[in-house]
Structure 1
């Protein structure tokens, strides 16, 4: 192998002719290592406009903590607003006005479509401002749109002068309208002449269609007849059999059209120039409007990206020593796939006193993914993006995120793997401030396989010295390593902490879970065994590890891991028990609330039933009184009315309140209240030792028990022994004979029913009747009445049937007396 083709390394430099290329700034290189551009591309998918997507693709970082917090607040407000509006916030009609504004400001004339885009953007901005403006709910975004000037006069002028597609409207200019009217007339005249020529020269033509050559109308004339058609020859067919001639009769009209079209273009240009000047005059307001719309689109893209990730808003602290709390953090660029059905989250909890975290464990265990996840989380929070975490993530505002991840081997720059790492780490140290107090925010350093690529002993020593140095200058350094010496730093320096990626010894595969406080084992021998390495080699390797004590160290780590698993299982059992208890408590509370609601509903139902019953009783009492007043009641009617009143009194007597009002007894002439009627009455006389009293209530004289009355102030009498309630109705003399009293309960309405249906309804009423029954059947054709009378004549327990009194329906109602 020639010297020029040997692989690069510390001892074998390669000479190249190309000049060395200066590396990009370390912070920019870090973002590239963390795949920040890919995250920005994912964010740009959620942009609504071209300018907004371009801003998302840039994904600028905030310059201060206040700016980051403002972006997070904007994202929160837009998430809520986008969910409230049906279909979400729409940027339809918003265009990128940058090129149009620059062209107009230089005195250029913008096209109709570009100017119409200005009008649609102004309309969309006015709509968005109306949807967003609410200083109480959305103070930040409302303040942002408050700067907008939507220029309604300019929008109206543009819409007035321009039609769909950017065409200048006839109404935009009187000369333009006149020119287009003339153009229409000339085109119509030329078309008519051409149609006339088609008819005249039809035998001489190859085709009866008017063609076009060089923008002029032509006739397809046969070559042999070309001399018979005067005009201008524009073209001929490939075969030579057809000659395309513009007839002489329309040449002058064509020339006139060309002249008018040129004047039309000039008139349109004048309108567009005037509109462009109006746009240029408002360039400042339009640039502000464009800037606000891009900021809104950028914020809305952040909101929709957060929803797509299931992300939550982080809390940023201005204290560089604030703790990192990222619970169940998911890498935002990892998506579930058939090869990786789920993404395992990691939890990062770093207290204020910690400065360095050393992550150990087997290869492909997720150490590098953890580094990138934490780095992206710090950058995303600074950029105003929500984090794909559980709970509420908390972390300090990081003005520097610096990383050395991946292989920096380069043949062009004569760098081996170790040399590339050292060069990049040197640039990281240069970028860090000498004193952390001088920094604007916290600094986060991420180192992958620190000290690798060289002699293990020297590499471990260099890694220890580097981490101790970074503990003085950086807020937090997270490093992955396989060096066992780094695992012991925690026990000598409280600023250091160990973490490891879990490994399943049964399946001999990593679980991607991050464990804190326990260093990890590389599990190289276990992995080699799974991959089929000879058992003899593995046994010899185990023997070589024993004198160095690494086997005992692994046994200690293994014991710690087992203890941690047991504690984790116990904690999970306790959490499950707590969850079950909370569910049981919630269920008991729900049942108690249901019982309370059911009890309240039952009481309300009973109250409504009581009120309904009282109203029905009062209505029936009024009907009885009204019939008794008619002066046609006989003794039987009086007896039935009295019995009915007694039943009503028993059914609707309210339960007296158990209030102690002693010492009151009604006296003759006193006004009292009758409980069953709810009305006042005058005491006429007392009987049965004061246990009964006769009162006058309106036109009625009633004999009531003492318990059936109370004083007007609500006082209750308390007799020695409550007598049975007794109701007597006295009818004034002179009342003639008449039918019994008709009520709703002894009345059945069969109008509209068929005879057999009416028979069933009347029979049901007769079976429960204790007096006469009124059957309302109407007059009509008389078929229903005759059918019922014939049927009732054959019913054994019916005594007689007669028409009702005139006041009760006369011939339209039959009264049935039962035996």
Structure 2
């Protein structure tokens, strides 16, 4: 969506797109996003964030956002891009044959090292397939990194070890410097009276002594100037001039050798330009993805679902204006009031009406920014899972009276911008979202209404969705003549003279000007005259109709909520009756013949009446009174049948192979896959977890206990001093694979409290986290003697054996 030109060279379409981004304050959102970038280039790219050109690119960005976000949560302290530098200028300079500084070359080495670390953390085709694909052709050039780090010290200084010649020259230069300093100190010692002080100064890189102004004839040398007071002359003694000349000559050789090395290393960087440039782009792409996910979590965002189909619906639940959310989080401002939108596939135009300051413009901007954010791979400040069609462009004409940069409130400005929007819709393929604020305003109401209707019908033919705010009453009736139109309004409390900022769908907003004027104390005579001028008495009062619709909508909403609650309770009772009937059918025919027939007749009668109640609640004409009567009858049915349901919970229950049971220790359901010969031990499969438990440790899913629980006994050795069994069996083996550490502890403790002898615990190898957690816990128990790995035939390191004291 970025423009390719500026000023007069921009087309109408490009101007319309540019105006839209400014009106929706997209650059301000990008500024917030840039604060979450980890690198300087990432920050720069966030501020000028580009919009993908197709739905696959948008989905790619969203997948990157979600994958790197999950990884960022797993790593303690989060994913770090420390050491990644902006190499664009350095690489270009080296590619052109230039020589860069040691500090710049060291940044190249640090970037290679950090990129290698990030690749190790990110590379996982199973968990992060999208990000891993980006790393396929990534070259981190370890040899180049080693070369640069060997030849450069911290700060970019060329190290002595970089070459023998450099080392020898520096050592020779250092010896000469020491010799020169010794000569100067000797001069200071022998001629102390003629010097102002004993410090050795520096002038133009040459050592000088502070000689008293009257003693210049007592020490030969080169004068480099006087002090500000004129009492001191700075002179380089002749005795050290030859040494200084030699040092200068060697320093020149040192500089030439350093330049030779930097030239060689810069050439190496230039020869790897393509690999380094690609690495920089991948690291930038990763940094942008991380910035998107951290920004999304900061605003409480959720991932949207993007559809390719033109007529896909817009679904936003509790959408909050992203910039207002940022403002609230930054300054602890007021809570942002959300809006919910559900625009069906056949709706093309939504007309939002209502009073000023009610939130109409905020709604427009919220939707526009949400569409741009979804296209850019950002998370949306909504709840649940928002969905929308991928829009090739968002076009807006929003008059902002608070803008100091442009005057967009005049009729001519609106028409100019709308003309560009019409052209953009014609020029660009794909679904378009058009946002119009106060369409048709700024001119004669009748002409403005006619123009607005014509515009909206045109957009209904060409754009995927147009949302327009208006005060023109003529637009409120379009819904009733064209199914592509829908009405919405912002709520207003006439008692408090305050907007509610809530968006109401299906009904237009009514004018509140006279109500506001009356409550603000305007002369009642003026208000009464205004009401008389509203229209002839015999004509239908549109505001009264709208008021009646609002009241009816509230009543229907309350009735619908009550009916939904009753329907849920009724269907639950229906399910309970069906379940009870099925249980009765399974009982012995000889023992339950008389009672079964009686209960079946009663249940069938109850089912018939419950189904009748459900049909009454589902009827389109059901109202509050219907719901109330159904509720009364439902409570009677509950009282009549509840005792039978409760009494039906037989305690005479025995699990069979294939039954679903609940493990009391874990509170989880599992399947019975085997039963011991005596019926007292069950093998349960709970997900990937398999364990053998006592019959008393399970119950049915509906809460029934197994029969003969009291007969269950724990087999113990005949003598405490007898030898413990050393053979692994199904009874002394627990399989805890797939459980968390604390869940496995519960299962193991349950066994240890009811059994004796060694216990084999199968925990698998995996990452070792489960094994380490169990070992640490077992070793802390006072009644555990020791824990060791099982023998190889019993599982080796994937199984631990526990001996109790």
Query: TM-score scaled to structure 1, two decimals?
Result: 0.68
Partner of 1:449: 438
Matched, 1:468 2:572: no
Contact 1:409 1:415 (8 Å CA) reproduced? no
- Change over 3 Å in CA distance of 1:78–1:22 after alignment to 2: closer
Given that 1:154 and 1:278 are in contact with CA atoms closer than 8 Å, whether structure 2 keeps it comes out as yes
What's the CA shift string for 1:221-280, capped at 9, x where partnerless?
212222222222212112221111212221111111111111110100000000011011
| Residue matched to 2:318 | 328
Per the alignment, in what secondary structure is the counterpart of residue 177 of structure 1?
helix
Shift of 1:282: 0.5
Q: Deviations over 1:601-655 (max 9, x none)?
A: 9968999996667323759xxxxxxxxxxxxxxxxxxxxxxxxxxxxxxxxxxxx
Matches within 5 A, 1:553-592: 553-569=542-558
Question: Which of 87, 106, 109 matches 1:97?
Answer: 87
CA shift, 1:558, in A, is 1.2
Determine if contact 1:445/1:478 at 8 Å carries over to the other structure: yes
Which residues in structure 2 correspond to 1:714-793 (within 5 Å)? Answer: none
Check conservation: 2:695, 2:712, Cα contact below 8 A. no
Measured after TM superposition, the shift of residue 565 of structure 1 is 2.7
**Residue 290 (structure 1) aligns with:** 280
1:522 Cα deviation after fit? 2.6
Q: 1:618 to 1:307 in 2, by over 3 A?
A: closer
2:171 equivalent in structure 1: 181
Per the alignment, residue 525 of structure 2 pairs with 536
Cα distance in 2 for partners of 1:22, 1:603 equals 80
Q: Distance in 2 between matches of 1:225 and 1:499?
A: 98
Matched-pair contact (CA < 8 Å) for 2:313–2:345:
yes
Conservation of the 8 A alpha-carbon contact between 1:20 and 1:412: no
- Inter-partner Cα distance in structure 1 for 2:498 and 2:485: 28
Residues 45-194 of structure 1: pairs in structure 2 closer than 5 A: 45-194=35-184
Distance 1:36 1:66, change over 3 A: same
Does the Cα contact within 8 Å between 1:119 and 1:155 map onto a contact in 2? yes
- CA distance, structure 2, for counterparts of residue 465 and residue 85 of structure 1: 57
- Which position in structure 1 is the counterpart of 2:493? 504
Q: Structure 1 residues 409, 43: closer, same or farther in 2, change over 3 A?
A: closer
Offset, 1:409:
13
Shift of 1:579: 11
Q: Deviations over 1:295-335 (max 9, x none)?
A: 11111111111111111111111101111111111110003
SS in 1 for 2:33: helix
The CA distance in 1 between the partners of 2:9 and 2:282, in whole Å, is 43
Q: Give the alignment partner of residue 541 of structure 2, picking from 548, 552, 571.
A: 552
Work out which of the residue numbers 392, 406, 413 in structure 2 matches 1:420. Answer: 413
Give the structure 2 partner of residue 360 of structure 1: 353
Counterpart for residue 659 of structure 1: none
Tell me how far apart the structure 2 counterparts of residues 525 and 196 of structure 1 sit (CA, whole Å): 102
Q: Distance in 2 between matches of 1:379 and 1:142?
A: 26
- Give the distance between the partners of 2:116 and 2:454, measured in 1 at CA: 61
Q: Which residue of 1 aligns with 2:190?
A: 200
Q: Name the stretch that deviates more: 450-459 or 241-250.
A: 241-250
Return the offset for 1:503: 0.6
The answer on whether the counterparts of 1:545 and 1:551 sit within 8 Å (CA) in structure 2 is: no
Q: Is the 8 A contact 2:439 2:468 kept in 1?
A: yes
Which one is further off, 536-545 or 354-363? 536-545
Residue 395 of structure 2 corresponds to which residue in structure 1? 402
Structure 1 CA distance for aligned equivalents of residues 538 and 40 of structure 2: 63
SS of equivalent residue, structure 1 residue 164: coil
Q: Distance in 1 between matches of 2:538 and 2:394?
A: 38
Relative distance call for 1:43 and 1:618 in structure 2 (3 A) is: closer
SS of corresponding position for 1:486? helix
What's 1:375 paired with?
Answer: 368
> 2-side partners of 1:484 and 1:387: how far apart?
33
* Secondary structure of 2:356's aligned partner: coil
Q: CA deviation at 1:578?
A: 10
Matches within 5 A, 1:248-287: 248-287=238-277
Q: Which residue of 2 aligns with 1:391?
A: 384
Counterpart CA distance in 2 for 1:415 and 1:394 is 32
Q: Per-residue CA shift, 1:363-406, capped at 9, x if unaligned? A: 00000010111111111111111111111111001002111111
Candidates 605, 609, 616, aligned match of 2:720: 616
C-alpha displacement of 1:440: 4.2
Change (3 A) 1:229 1:570: farther
Hey, what's the Cα distance between the residues in 2 that align with 1:278 and 1:236?
50
Q: Distance in 2 between matches of 1:346 and 1:410?
A: 24
Partner Cα separation in structure 2 for residue 267 and residue 253 of structure 1: 21
Report the Cα distance in structure 2 between the residues aligned to 1:414 and 1:377, rounded to whole angstroms.
26
Can you list the C-alpha shifts for 1:191-235, whole angstroms capped at 9, x where unaligned?
222222222222222112111122111111212222222222212
Q: Is the 8 A contact 2:222 2:235 kept in 1?
A: yes
- Largest Rg, 1 or 2: 1
With normalisation by structure 2, the TM-score equals 0.69
Q: Which moved more, 1:511-520 or 1:552-561?
A: 552-561
Contact 1:363 1:522 in 2 (8 A): no
Q: CA separation in 2, counterparts of 1:297 and 1:315?
A: 23
Q: How does 1:702-717 map to 2 (within 5 A)?
A: none
Contact 2:87 2:108 in 1 (8 A): yes
Q: Which residue of 1 aligns with 2:204?
A: 214
Report the Cα distance in structure 2 between the residues aligned to 1:195 and 1:517, rounded to whole angstroms: 97
Tell me the equivalent position of 2:296: 306
The counterpart of 2:514, out of the listed 499, 503, 525, is 525
Aligned-residue offset at 1:441: 2.5
Which stretches of structure 1, 4 residues or longer, exceed 4 Å deviation after superposition?
A: 18-24, 337-340, 407-416, 548-551, 569-582, 591-613
How far, CA to CA, are the matches of 1:441 and 1:385 in structure 2?
21
Q: Distance in 2 between matches of 1:105 and 1:617?
A: 83
Aligned length: 595
SS of 2:542's equivalent in the other structure is: helix
> Residues 155, 391 of structure 1: CA spacing in aligned structure 2 closer, same or farther, 3 A cutoff?
same
Secondary structure of 2:32's match?
A: helix
Q: Alignment partner of 2:720: what SS?
A: helix
Offset of residue 281 of structure 1: 0.5
CA apart distance, 1:533? 2.5
Within the candidate set 336, 344, 353, 1:351 is matched to 344
Q: Does 1:487 align with 2:487?
A: no
Inter-CA distance 273–595: structure 2 relative to 1 (3 Å threshold) = closer
Q: Say if 1:64 and 1:252 are closer, same or farther in 2 by CA, change over 3 A.
A: same
Helix, strand or coil at the partner of 1:46:
coil
Superposition pairs for residues 652-663 of structure 1, below 5 Å? none
Whether the 8 Å CA contact 2:399–2:409 is kept in 1: the answer is: no
Q: Distance in 1 between matches of 2:304 and 2:9?
A: 42
Q: Gapped runs of 5+ residues in structure 1?
A: 1-17, 620-819
Alpha-carbon distance change, 511 to 227 in structure 1, aligned in 2, over 3 angstroms: same
8 Å CA contact 1:408, 1:417 repeated in 2: no
Structure 2 unaligned spans of 5+: 1-6, 576-645, 647-660, 669-679, 681-692, 698-708, 724-805
- Structure 2 Cα separation of the partners of residues 531 and 295 of structure 1: 56
Q: How far apart are the structure 1 equivalents of 2:294 and 2:8?
A: 46
| CA shift for structure 1 position 537 | 1.4
Offset, 1:21: 10
Shift in alpha-carbon separation, 1:575–1:306, aligned structure 2, 3 A: farther
> What is the alpha-carbon distance in structure 2 between the residues aligned to residue 429 and residue 95 of structure 1?
44
- SS of 2:139 mapped into structure 1: coil
